[in-house]
Structure 1
Amino acid sequence: MVSAKSVVGVFCYTFLMILGLQTFSDILNKEQSLKSMLAFTVSAITLILLGTYLIKMGEKEDEAKRAEKTRKKILKNMGRVNKLK
């Protein structure tokens, strides 16, 4: 199962791509000013950093959940082996 943080991180990247396409379209139509380009750059950097952070945190959570499941399985199997002895 994928964690919610990873989903939000991917959403940040998707939103950034949509925002970038809109900005590129505005540049081609010469409707973009320097001020709005600066705002786009700041928001793009923020979205990239936030998306990367959330995806990494989600991966760590997923890995911790998998490790906990594996640990429980090992302990359960050890209990079965001890009962057989």
Structure 2
Amino acid sequence: MQFSEETKERIGKIIDLSRVAIHYGYLPLIVYLGYTYSEPQPSLIRQAIFTSSLRVARREQIRYIRAATKTLPKQTSDFYHRSILIT
């Protein structure tokens, strides 16, 4: 069957668009299916609250470390601060 040039271009564009859709849509589709078909079904809101509370706890740890290093002598403070950043 012979196709015109216009039809060939349209088919090529459709194939390119479907490649892009599959490339960027595959992982979100798998995550969506995992959330919707798992038992018990996880709560996205609970997950968001948990991760944000971890960020708050981490910020509090950093503030505590900074406050603790301010009371140390300068040379010890630099060494202590660097060792905390490495770990």
Structure ranking higher on relative contact order (CA contacts 8 Å, 6+ apart): 1
Larger Rg: 2
- TM range, normalised to the smaller chain? 0.3 to 0.5
